[in-house]
Amino acid sequence: MKHLITIALALGLSGCAAWTHYPQGGTLADPSGRFSIQAPPDWVRNNLASDRILLTRDGPHTQQIVLARHDFDKAFPRLKKTVDAKTLPTELAELAVAEMKSQDAMANLRILDSRPARLGPLLGFRLHVRYRTDAGLTIDRLGYGAVSEKGVFLLSYTAPQLHYFERDLPAFERVVASFKPV
């Protein structure tokens, strides 16, 4: 019995390393070292996401911020489309929409707003979409994207439209404003 308690405690404590809490916020770099952002205060980072930064305040199914840099040929894996550093922001936004719509969970996706935007020094897009889950929950996603010689940068904020999306939107906009490609 004593060994079972020790094993259970060890497994429980090892799970704590999966998340890092940022009570004061802080500078975070992506795993590839190609950009940095400022984490919002009191959000946590998933340490198991080795190819991106994944942040949440109340849990990834409540709200999440995902930031990633992709190689040109891996930015849109479902579409199997390759882009390059000369891809226009409008083309990039269209590919982002097509990639989302290719997922069964987002088949009913509606575009609420699509416009040019800056991502740090890069010209890109800002895209606001909405979809409904099979359970009837309305989800909003706000995304930014841009290309440079170093690849494709995609940042998104996803949360239920009711309550969470508007509540945590300012935190996401601060993250976007802090984005710095390296």
The CA distance from 129 to 103, in Å, is 14
* Interval 69-123: pLDDT, tens: 999 999 999 998 899 999 999 999 999 999 999 988 888 999 999 999 999 999 9
Kindly tell me if the per-residue pLDDT of 166 is higher than 90.
yes
* Interval 21-72: pLDDT, tens: 999 999 999 888 899 999 999 999 999 888 899 999 999 999 999 999 999 9
Query: What are the structure tokens assigned to 21, written together?
Result: 């809490």
Residue 161: which residues within 8 A CB-CB, separation 6 or more?
130, 138, 139, 140
What pLDDT shows up at residue 10? 39
Closest CA relative to residue 34, chosen from 68, 7, 8 = 68
Kindly tell me if the per-residue pLDDT of 136 is higher than 70.
yes
What pTM was computed for the model?
0.88
Which structural domains are found in the chain, ordered by start? 20-181 (3.40.1000.10)
Kindly tell me if the per-residue pLDDT of 2 is higher than 80.
no
Tell which phi-psi region holds residue 163, choosing left (phi > 0), alpha (psi between -120 and 50) or beta.
left
Kindly tell me if the per-residue pLDDT of 9 is higher than 80.
no
